[in-house]
Structure 1
Amino acid sequence: MDVVTVGETMVLFTPISKGQLRNAHTFSKTYAGAESNVAIGLSRLDHQVGWISRVGHDEFGKSVLSFIRGEGVDTSQVQLDSEAATGVFFKEVRNPKDVRVTYYRNGSAASRMSANDLDEEYLKKAKYLHLSGITPALSASCYEMVKEAIRIAKKHSVTIIFDPNVRRSLWSEEQARRTLLEIAENVDIILPGIDEGAFLLGEKEPEKIAKRFLELGPSLVVLKVGAKGAYYFTETESKLVPGYLVEHVVDPVGAGDGFLAGFTSGLLDGLQIEEAVQRGNAVGAMVTMVEGDVEGLPDKQEIEAFIKPNIEDVQR
């Protein structure tokens, strides 16, 4: 197994029409969750990925499982919960620069995940464990599960890659900051956005954010700076890897998950850090060009076709 990820996936309803949600009458139904977005992105890039979660023993839960399994992701560790429902959320696209998301996930099946849902034998086979800051925010038992996953990964030398993915609506700022920094102390690679770095550390300069994170424990910090691209920092080197110009952003939601999938894919393929970040930038850009969280995630041929002409433009 290349990567194992842990987290909630929900059913996503998006109005067919743009504008305020109150005026919508018809919706498309898809699926999204930060961790499963990453899992699907990696699967499409020819990697073996496992997803650990819990869904309701309901029609929505069954459809989530069918969809993710259909993308080539191993769902053998997903539990069906007969006592709680699968979470749902709604995307409101008022315009390309104003996309709002409303969640209905309190008490969802995934919020009932616990350390008992983890199989050490399964986790220890992975090369990477991917975690996001969303999962520990769902409930106390989810937080304990994340800590146990980290313990198992460290015991078996599985590299831990962490996206803080700050969701302020899920918990207090104080609790979010304390918990996410505690997790950051125990991971190998961290991929915050620059705004998340400012929120967690009170710093605004990329170099200061990276220095603080490196002092906490990670050996590699990848700092996303939107359309400009992403920096990477280790104890010995740092560089800004430019992003890709997207003339028309259709849907920005899911770009960060696409970035993480592309970056992790690069590491798995043995690329240098700069090249892995470049692949992450490319996947993130491609996601914004298509409506939906996973619909724009490319396969290997598509990502290579996208990167090559862009590199040639830079070289000219």
Structure 2
Amino acid sequence: MSGVLTVGETMAALRTPLPLRLGGPAHLSVAGSESNVAIGLSRLGHEAHWLGAVGDDQPGELVLRTLRAEGVGLRFARTAPDAPTGFIAFDRAAQDITRVSYHRRGSAGSTLTAAETTAAVTAGTPDLVHLTGITPALSGTARAATLAAARTARAVGARVSLDVNHRARLWGRAEAADALRELLPWVDTVFASEDELDLLTAADDAVPALLAGGTAEVVVTAGAAGAHAHTPGISRFQAAVPTTVADSIGAGDAFVAGYLSAALDGLPIEDRLARGVTAGAFCVAGRGDWESLPTRSDLALLARGDGTALR
């Protein structure tokens, strides 16, 4: 295996256009930060694999079927016979406010182990291993699995990217900071929002401190404003692509997929940012975590302007 290996939990996702308590029609799909990135990279023409576990149940079959259909490799996916596939629910709490609720305690995704991530990275020898701060929050074994993936990636010569993706419902900031800082010595590229940087370092000026500590790239996302990318010699900013927002869920994962895609293509930092914000614009213009992610041939479409008809 070459290409990219993403490590984490993918859940069945339920979406309703009204508050969930009111019932009514719902849309069933799948969601997970790491698999969103894998799908995004696959659509952009890269070899992408997902390492994770699902339950021996119908939601688990849905996850595997969806990823397989999107061209994501499942060589290292596992079915856990004694743990269920996690669920995530999105509903409309108010006019333009999406409420997210998780049902993942004791899920199959939380059963990841250091032994299986070590074996997968060693056997696959990927070019890049992508991790997030969600997986180590799921359980003690998942935290150990994430650390083992990072360490092993460095040992086999693979690069490591880390999206902080802090989830306050999973763990507090102090515990998250301990786990994330433990990962940093093996991480090449960090993605974080401005309010997540303190989880990575106690320094007042976080970006220079992270770069001085050995991180090769620090990418600071700013939502609708765009993103900054920093290396020891370069700092660049890219504004977001103007678009009508239908659903902001998954935008960060789309940006990461676009940025990593350009990095895998060997493009400079300006082009990495540009592809990242373009992928993010595609994501927020549609509904769902990954459904609107672009293919490589789609990337130039937004430059045509609103209302363009392709005939």
- TM norm structure 1: 0.91
Going from structure 1 to structure 2, the CA distance change for 1:296 and 1:96 (only over 3 Å counts) comes to farther
1:258 alignment partner, SS class: helix
Whichever residue aligns with residue 182 of structure 1, its letter is: E
Whichever residue aligns with residue 11 of structure 1, its letter is: A
Going from structure 1 to structure 2, the CA distance change for 1:121 and 1:184 (only over 3 Å counts) comes to closer
| Contact 1:4–1:123 (8 Å) recurs in 2 | no
CA-atom RMSD in angstroms: 1.7
| Contact 1:31–1:64 (8 Å) recurs in 2 | yes
Partners of 1:212 and 1:121 in 2: CA distance: 29
Counterpart position of 2:159: 159
**Percent identical residues:** 35
Shift of 1:305: 2.1
Counterpart position of 1:94: 93
Going from structure 1 to structure 2, the CA distance change for 1:11 and 1:120 (only over 3 Å counts) comes to closer
- 1:143-198 per-residue CA deviation (whole Å, 9 max, x = no partner) reads 11111111111111101011011011111221011111221232000010112125
Going from structure 1 to structure 2, the CA distance change for 1:214 and 1:65 (only over 3 Å counts) comes to same
| Unpaired segments ≥5 residues, structure 2 | 306-311
Counterpart position of 1:313: none
Shift of 1:44: 0.4
Partners of 1:222 and 1:158 in 2: CA distance: 19
Which structure 1 residue ranges, 4+ long, deviate > 6 Å from structure 2? none
Counterpart position of 1:314: none
| Contact 2:52–2:78 (8 Å) recurs in 1 | yes
- 1:241-262 per-residue CA deviation (whole Å, 9 max, x = no partner) reads 121112x211101000000000
Deviating more after overlay: 190-199 vs 273-282: 190-199
| Contact 2:31–2:88 (8 Å) recurs in 1 | no
2:260 alignment partner, SS class: helix
Question: Which of 280, 286, 293 is matched with 2:282 structurally?
Answer: 286
Partners of 1:116 and 1:297 in 2: CA distance: 32
Task: State the number of aligned residues.
Answer: 303
- 1:174-230 per-residue CA deviation (whole Å, 9 max, x = no partner) reads 1011111221232000010112125554678xxx33112213321111111111211
Structure 1 residue 235 corresponds to structure 2 residue 236:
no
2:130 alignment partner, SS class: strand
Whichever residue aligns with residue 14 of structure 1, its letter is: R
Counterpart position of 1:4: 5
Counterpart position of 1:139: 139
Question: Which of 237, 252, 255 is matched with 1:256 structurally?
Answer: 252
Counterpart position of 1:183: 183
Q: How does 1:17-28 map to 2 (within 5 A)?
A: 17-18=17-18, 20-28=19-27
Whichever residue aligns with residue 247 of structure 2, its letter is: D
Q: How does 1:102-113 map to 2 (within 5 A)?
A: 102-113=101-112
Shift of 1:63: 1.3
